[in-house]
Amino acid sequence: MKLYEYESKEIASRYGILVPRGRVVVSPSEAYSVARELGVVVLKAQVLVGGRGLAGGVRIAESPEEAYNIAEKLLSTSIRGERVEKLLVEEKVCISRELYLSLIVDRAARRPVYLISEMGGVEIEELAKKYPEKIHRVYVDPGIGYTDYIARVSLQVLKLPWTLLQDIANTTRAMYKIMVDYDAELVEFNPLALTCDNRLIALDAKIIIDDNSLYKHPELQRLYGRDLSEYEKRARELGFSYVELDGDIGVISNGAGLTMATMDSILYYGGKPANFLDIGGGAHRESVREAVKLMLTHPRSRVLLINIFGGITRCDEVAIGIIEAIREIGLIKPIIVRMLGTNEEEGRRILREQGIEVYSEMDDAVKVAVELSKR
Amino acid sequence: MKLYEYESKEIASRYGILVPRGRVVVSPSEAYSVARELGVVVLKAQVLVGGRGLAGGVRIAESPEEAYNIAEKLLSTSIRGERVEKLLVEEKVCISRELYLSLIVDRAARRPVYLISEMGGVEIEELAKKYPEKIHRVYVDPGIGYTDYIARVSLQVLKLPWTLLQDIANTTRAMYKIMVDYDAELVEFNPLALTCDNRLIALDAKIIIDDNSLYKHPELQRLYGRDLSEYEKRARELGFSYVELDGDIGVISNGAGLTMATMDSILYYGGKPANFLDIGGGAHRESVREAVKLMLTHPRSRVLLINIFGGITRCDEVAIGIIEAIREIGLIKPIIVRMLGTNEEEGRRILREQGIEVYSEMDDAVKVAVELSKR
Amino acid sequence: MGILVNHSTRAIVQGITGREGSFHTKLMLDYGTKIVAGTSPGKGGSYVHGVPVYNTIYEAVREQGPIDASIIFVPARFASDAVYEAIDHGIRVVVVITEGIPLHEEVKFVNYAKIRGVDVVGPNTPGVMTVNECKLGIMPAHVFKRGYVGLVSRSGTLTYEIARELSKRGYGVSTVIGLGGDPVTGLDFIDVYERFLRDNETKAVVLIGEIGGDAEERFATYYTKLTYKKPVVAYIAGRTAPPGKRMGHAGAIISMGMGDYKSKRSSLENADIPVAETPSQVPILLESVLGK
Amino acid sequence: MGILVNHSTRAIVQGITGREGSFHTKLMLDYGTKIVAGTSPGKGGSYVHGVPVYNTIYEAVREQGPIDASIIFVPARFASDAVYEAIDHGIRVVVVITEGIPLHEEVKFVNYAKIRGVDVVGPNTPGVMTVNECKLGIMPAHVFKRGYVGLVSRSGTLTYEIARELSKRGYGVSTVIGLGGDPVTGLDFIDVYERFLRDNETKAVVLIGEIGGDAEERFATYYTKLTYKKPVVAYIAGRTAPPGKRMGHAGAIISMGMGDYKSKRSSLENADIPVAETPSQVPILLESVLGK
């Protein structure tokens, strides 16, 4: 789960990392009063999607009036589909250099790693592609944890003066502590800035919490799902993995890999999937029914493709779930079913009685769904 | 540094381990009033030496009067040379079985290890010699720390009922936490008892803190050295490693191994060392002077043997230190010097001027010292 | 032959009395897996489908002798402890079915296992199965026929789908392994491929990847450098997945600019590993690399 | 030959600008040790006895290339960090002179090193020296003559004493190693003896033990089981030490009933390892086992 910039900064600040003075606001008049207090300010849209800067979500205001106007504008927009509901209004800090510092879990090495670069302010993905040699990595053994030399190496890689050793050490140590205390996957300061008066300050901050650890952090667990669309939220409440896409073929499948493969096959045969919906392993008729109801009423999808590979999942249960959903909602759009495995014959019979054809081969089912979506 | 039983129990209790109700007393009348409150009590002499039980340091009192009398007796005795200044007066607990549970750092495996045995109440050293198969070991990886299965294994080894899983888990988990929080070398409950009403209780507790970690625990550091004799304290204050022995040849040497080898050679040639005094590496005249003064005035030693292998330590500095000590105190007992290494000639000259012969070979010096001690 | 587990593997089921544990113990026994013991704290002394249940592995090993492999069904909060218990009692292959284990716990036990030379399959895996010999997992056994294709996958049902496509075309499987759907797993494609290289029975490998992470890219780099190699065919799921969204698996998230479909596909193709467009294409590509 | 370090060993001094570090750097250089760099945070850019000083090993390796060995003089509170810095930058032999490092920190870094195949000499050691080739330590060099006796010890000055006795009788030393005076050390007698076994130059080993722990007993057990062995002669200090008292070294404490003189001596003698009564007897016993 991603935290907002202002939340990440609150945590960072509690761990002794310097951040610009500022406040979160939800209205232009609040922005006005913060600006009157702080002088020249930066207004930053609080969204969880990336690329905020390029999308115009970060603006400078020289006066309280300007802050008011910018806030009014920002609070009425969306950035990459995400509505802007809060702004972080911060003092504008005089900076001499922008640095990059993060701590992430490296999948390949199976350990936390510090990524350190003197080229801050750019997205790390871009940096990694263009100047991989400009990113220094320091791996941390999970059994040992943070060790002090990491600060000294960071200082040197960032070409900071030796007088800042304690400052950088406070930062690198705090990052590790945040990762451990909050079960974070990522703790990132980009840019971490060197100010004109030689201090280190986190101009931006990003913390991502491991979803599997949320149960250890009830205060964060409550926030879980807040970045989901209404539709995604409903699906999650029903216990499904769900992601909204922009096509017109609704997809229900079991297993993340097979669901993605179904979506991909739709694309391969010329169609566009409307969503990702994984009902998981061993689903019963009730959950199938709810999934089908959800996708029958899904506004964008014109056809519904159900692809079930029955192992633990029983095909007759799936069939009954489908029939029940149709009974409640009506067959308001074509349903293409592909089913295989346990109790396949019985499932096939149940659906055929209702006039629904069952395919054995995934390719056949996908092709028909694509064709129907184009009618 | 060893903690007293009552201190160890205070810590254990703070970590949720059940200990008998009781109080520390320093006078018979206090013992009387604790006994009046608790009924039948156990009075336990608080000393740091081992073998307290066999030496009569643990006694049961059926009445407050008896408690008074026992306390009066115990508080006027010494146990293996250590004066009894405090008693722990505890309720007598009804117990059904005595168990053994400890967590120590295993030198060979270089890891913490739980020692678990259903035969509690005996000293572990004795148990290890007589019934090594009765001690179960569970090693802990220092990078991973405590894991819950340790509790389940402990429960089975101790043949406890499954209803006590949470109790034993609280105990084993707390032991590891105590080891980490206090930098302990040893956390031992012997016996850990199963009470008549099926509870686990630590009847005795022993915690030893790693001396090198004391700086992290200022509250404990202040107590450091309290188990030393007056003489040992003075030596430590001067910065020497010092141990009191019962012979009559005073020993000053540099390096722990060489100092012990000097003592051992004294024994080999028929004498008895009075002490262990290691002045350490690179000692200057001042510390040599203080060491020599200390041993010149040491009441039991009749002869002083100084054995210096000069590497970093300079022989002329040693010689000057000796001379200065003699000037202050007087040559009130024979001093035998063996010196080798850096600036050996100069040191030899300085001492010879004062009529002190310098030996090159350790054996020769030791033999002479032994001979003189017998005159 | 086959890798990791075989007909002589003596296995234990951790969490055998739970719903999942008990259900799959039955299926694994039916398959012929030698399950010599199960654990369930507090339930020692009972039996599940004829398998003796112990309170601890300590006790199980004492009663049953050394155990080679474990399969873990215990809930996420207790799973790490189960892994340590298995490793510390000499078990060399640990299959972690459990989903939802905290990331940093996984990081710790996966490193712990690696240092001790223990193979962790998963977490969040359908398991491992050497066809007709030993099944330590939850996969539907009937879709796998015995043969000379090694199957290694980050997915569950998709693997069964592809195994079925292979069967239809007459290809059988030596061993099938689910690496697990989490960002950090005990084994990766390289680890498993190295075992397949040493397995005389396996002649080709099918690699089933998905978006997220860079395991496929690293495999491609590794594969390019090999002098002795067996042919590989791949399928990658997630071409249509948007960045920044978790696609069911915690591991299947494209973030930090890493792990998108394009990058994986081009890496593999540059390493001369053909990538199928649909599951049904996998056996066709296999035919081409095997030169039929 | 000799073990652990030799004439081609490229070494770094961690804590080179301190009083001890600087003093011994001079002596080690005089001995011919190849010290290519030193570290001292914040003092990078300066020189100590002609050796370039860096802020970090990261920088030292970047400027000077790979480094084989390190000797650590930094204060106890910073010593663990120095060990990790050395190991994490590819250094394979780490000599920790520092005394007074917290026990649990030692336990951690000693395990860390072992897993990575790094040799930690110490902590609280006089160091290691292959005579006339490389000295990474603080021992007075002049008492050691080159020869075929391997010297391994838990002590400092006592080792010099015995080396001098050996020299007097015409015996020289291949490599001398101080294991360190703390309860937990990186190497033990067995580790070092195994190296001496593989060293063509070393024909016999002198083992200098002391009370506390069971390293000598374990060595005796190990030695008994060897089929190929080189003769060993031992000296054990502490016959007159009382139980429960710390004799200078933190490791030299007899407690938990382990590690008294009698137990060590009888274990060694039962393994056919003669134990000298005084340092001067060591060369005499050596003569007897070498069959002169």
Of B144, B147, B156, the CB nearest to C55: B156
Does residue D46 lie within any of the structural domains?
A: yes
Q: What is the pLDDT of residue C256?
A: 54
pLDDT average, residue stretch A140-157? 97
Neighbours of chain C (3+ CB pairs under 8 A): A, B
Average pLDDT of A30-48?
96
pLDDT value for B330: 92
Cross-chain CB nearest to C247 (options A111, A215, A243): A243
**B152 in contact with C, Cβ within 8 Å:** yes
d(CA D96, CA C20): 52
Contacts of B186 in chain D (CB under 8 A): 256
Tell which residue, B4, B45, B3, B43, has the closest CA to residue B20: B43
CATH superfamily name and code, A21-91:
ATP-grasp fold, A domain (3.30.1490.20)
Q: Hey, is the C-beta of A214 within 8 angstroms of any chain C C-beta?
A: no
Q: Are A370 and A269 in contact (CB under 8 A)?
A: yes
Does A165 sit within 8 Å of D84, measured CB to CB? no
Q: Would you say how long chain A is, in residues?
A: 375
pLDDT, position D256: 54
Res C260: pLDDT:
87
Domains held by chain C: number: 2
Contact D42 A162 (CB under 8 A): yes
Partners of residue B370 in chain D, C-beta under 8 Å: none
* Distance in angstroms (rounded) separating the CA atoms of residues C198 and C226: 13
Residues in chain B within 8 Å Cβ distance of A141: 143
Which residues lie below 8 Å from residue D201, measured CB to CB, with a gap of 6+? D1, D2, D148, D174
Please report the pLDDT score of residue B234 as a whole number. Answer: 86
Report if residue C128 sits inside a domain.
no
Interface predicted TM-score (ipTM): 0.93
Q: What's the CA gap between D197 and D187, in Å, rounded? A: 15
Q: Say yes or no: D85 contacts chain B, CB-CB below 8 A.
A: no
> Residues D258, D154: one domain?
yes
Same domain, D18 and D117: yes
Across the interface, whether the CB atoms of C247 and A110 are under 8 A apart is answered: no
Q: Tell me if residue A100 is catalytic.
A: yes
pLDDT in tens, B47-63: 988 788 888 999 999 99
What are the contacts of D198-201 at 24+ separation with CB within 8 A?
D198/D3, D199/D1, D199/D2, D199/D3, D199/D150, D199/D174, D199/D175, D200/D1, D201/D1, D201/D2, D201/D148, D201/D174
Does residue C222 sit at the B interface (CB-CB below 8 Å)? no
Same domain flag for D33 and D102: yes
pLDDT tens-digit profile of B224-258?
Answer: 878 777 788 888 888 898 999 999 999 999 999 99
**Residue D56 and residue A156: Cβ atoms within 8 Å?**
yes
Per-residue pLDDT, averaged over C57-63, amounts to 97
Chain CA centroid to CA B240, Å: 17
Cross-chain Cβ contact D84/A149 below 8 Å: yes
Top CATH class, A95-221: alpha beta
CB contact under 8 A, A111 and C246: no
E runs forming strands in D56-170:
69-72, 93-96, 119-121, 127-130, 134-137, 146-153
Lowest mean pLDDT among A180-194, A251-265, A333-347, D142-156: A333-347
The amino acid at residue C171 is Y
Residue A41 has pLDDT above 70, yes or no: yes
Mean pLDDT of C195-199: 97
Are D108 and A165 a contacting pair at CB < 8 A? Answer: no
CB A265 within 8 A of CB A273: no
**Given CB atoms, is A111 within the 8 Å cutoff of chain C?**
yes
The structural domains of chain B, with segments of one domain joined by +, span: 21-91, 95-221, 230-373
Comparing B314 with A189, the larger pLDDT belongs to A189
Q: Compare CB distances from C247 to A111, A124, A256 and report the shortest one's residue.
A: A256
Residues D73 and D194 in one domain: no
d(CA C151, CA C192): 9
| Beta strands in B15-170, from DSSP E residues, in sequence order | 22-25, 41-45, 58-61, 78-79, 82-83, 87-91, 95-106, 111-117, 136-139
> What is the rounded CA–CA span in Å between residue C282 and residue C171?
11
B265-278 b/e with 16+ CB inside 10 Å = b? bbbbbebbbbbbbb
Greatest Cα pair distance, chain C, in angstroms, is 57
Instruction: Give the number of other Cβ atoms within 10 Å of residue B71's Cβ.
Output: 28
CB atoms within 10 A of CB A273: 28
| Full DSSP string of D180-246 | -SSSS-S--HHHHHHHHHH-TT--EEEEEEESSSSHHHHHHHHHHH-SS---EEEEEE-TTPPTT-B
CA distance D41 to chain A (A): 8
Give, in degrees to the nearest 5, the angle at Cα B104 between B113 and B58: 130
D170 reaches A (C-beta below 8 A): no
How many Å is the maximal CA-CA distance in chain A?
80
Residue A290 annotated among the catalytic residues of the structure: no
Nearest CB to C184: which of A49, A110, A278?
A: A110
Residues D152 and D223 in one domain: yes
> Per-residue confidence of chain D (292 residues) as pLDDT tens digits?
899 999 999 999 999 999 999 999 999 999 999 999 999 999 999 999 999 999 999 999 999 999 999 999 999 999 999 999 999 999 999 999 999 999 999 999 999 999 999 999 999 999 999 999 999 999 999 999 999 999 999 998 999 999 999 999 999 999 999 999 999 999 999 999 999 999 999 999 999 999 988 899 999 999 999 999 999 999 999 999 887 777 776 666 555 556 789 999 999 999 999 999 999 999 999 999 997 5
Answer whether A156 sits within 8 Å of D58, measured CB to CB.
yes
Count of CB pairs separated by less than 8 Å, A with C: 181
D52 and D143 co-located in one domain: no
Whether residues C247 and A241 touch (CB distance < 8 A) is answered with yes
Pick among A137, A149, A158, A173 to test the D interface (most D CBs inside 10 A): A149
Closest Cα in chain B to C84: B147
pLDDT value at residue C213 = 87
Residues 238 to 267 of B: which have CB under 8 A from any D CB? 241, 243, 245, 253-261, 263-267
Is C42 part of a structural domain of the chain?
yes
CB distance from C105 to chain B under 8 Å?
no
Residue of chain A whose Cα is closest to the Cα of B141: A143
The CATH number of the structural domain formed by B230-373 is: 3.40.50.261
Query: Does residue B191 contact residue B98 with C-beta atoms inside 8 Å?
Result: yes
Residue D130 within a domain: no
C73 vs C101: CA distance, rounded Å = 12
Catalytic residue among A82, A90, A185, A188: A188
**Domain contains C43:** yes
Q: Does D108 touch chain B (CB under 8 A)?
A: yes
> Quick check: is D134 in a domain?
no
Contacts of C81 in chain B (CB under 8 A): 147-149
Domain boundary pick from C121, C150, C184: C121
**A141 touching D, CB under 8 A?**
yes
Share of chain C above pLDDT 70, in %: 96
| Cβ-Cβ contacts under 8 Å, D103 against chain B | 105, 183, 185, 210, 212-213
CATH number reported for the structural domain that contains residue D104 in this entry: 3.40.50.720
Q: Which chain A residue's Cα is nearest to C213?
A: A107
Q: What are phi and psi of A273, to 5 degrees?
A: -70, 145
Question: Residues A105, A110, A112, A116: is their CA dihedral positive or negative?
Answer: negative
Q: How far apart are CA B282 and CA B280, in angstroms?
A: 7
For residue C195, the distance in angstroms to the closest alpha carbon of chain A comes to 18
Whether residue C171 is found in the same domain as residue C31: no
pLDDT in tens, A96-125: 999 999 999 998 899 999 999 999 988 888
pLDDT digits (tens, 9 = 90+) for A2-14: 999 999 999 999 9
Indicate the burial class of A115 (C-beta count within 10 angstroms; 0-12, 13-18, 19 or more).
buried
Q: Is C157 on the interface with A (CB under 8 A)?
A: yes
Of the residues C24, C49, C142, C249, which is catalytic? Answer: C249
Determine contact, residues B147/C84, Cβ cutoff 8 Å.
yes
D88 touches chain A (CB under 8 A): yes
Asked if residue C62 is part of any domain, the answer here is yes
List of chains touching A (3+ CB pairs within 8 A): B, C, D
**C104/A180 touch (CB, cutoff 8 Å), yes or no:** yes
Contact D256 B361 (CB under 8 A): no
Residue B125: its pLDDT value, please?
A: 80
Give the Cα separation of D92 and D113 in Å (integer): 9
Domain limits at C163?
Answer: 139-289
Nearest CA-CA distance, residue B175 and chain A, Å: 20
Interface of D with B in 176-205 (CB under 8 A): 181-184, 188
Handedness of CA A5, A10, A16, A21 (dihedral sign): positive
Residue D74, phi then psi, degrees to nearest 5: -70, 155
Residue D39: which H helix or E strand, with range?
strand D34-39
Measured between beta carbons, which residues in chain D are less than 8 angstroms from residue A165? Answer: 41-42
- pLDDT above 90 (res B275): yes
CA distance B74 to B69: 9
Has residue C130 been placed in a domain? Answer: no
Q: Is C154 in the A-facing interface, judged by CB distances under 8 Å? A: yes
- In B184-213, the residues whose Cβ lies within 8 Å of chain D are 185-186, 210-213
> For residue A355, which of A334, A328, A325 has the smallest C-alpha distance?
A334
Partners of B100 in the β-ladder: B117
The answer to whether residues D157 and D260 belong to one domain is: yes
Distance CA C69, CA C49 (A): 19
Give the per-residue pLDDT at B130.
86
Query: Could you tell me the pTM of the whole model?
Result: 0.94
C144, C115: one domain: no
Q: Is the alpha carbon torsion for C220, C221, C222, C225 positive or negative?
A: positive
Subunit partners of chain B (3 or more CB pairs within 8 A): A, C, D
* Boundary residue ending a domain (C121, C150, C170): C121
The mean pLDDT value for A345-358 works out to 91
Q: Looking at the complex, report in whole angstroms how far the Cα of residue A168 sits from the nearest Cα belonging to chain D.
A: 14
* Burial grade of A172 (CB within 10 A; 0-12, 13-18, 19 or more): buried
Residues C144 and C257 in one domain: yes
User: Minimum mean pLDDT among A138-152, B159-173, B180-194, B329-343: which range?
Assistant: B329-343
Last residue in a domain, options D121, D148, D174 = D121
A161 contact D CB<8A? no
Two tokens at A105?
């879990």
Mark out the alpha helices in A247-343 (DSSP H runs): 256-268, 285-296, 315-329
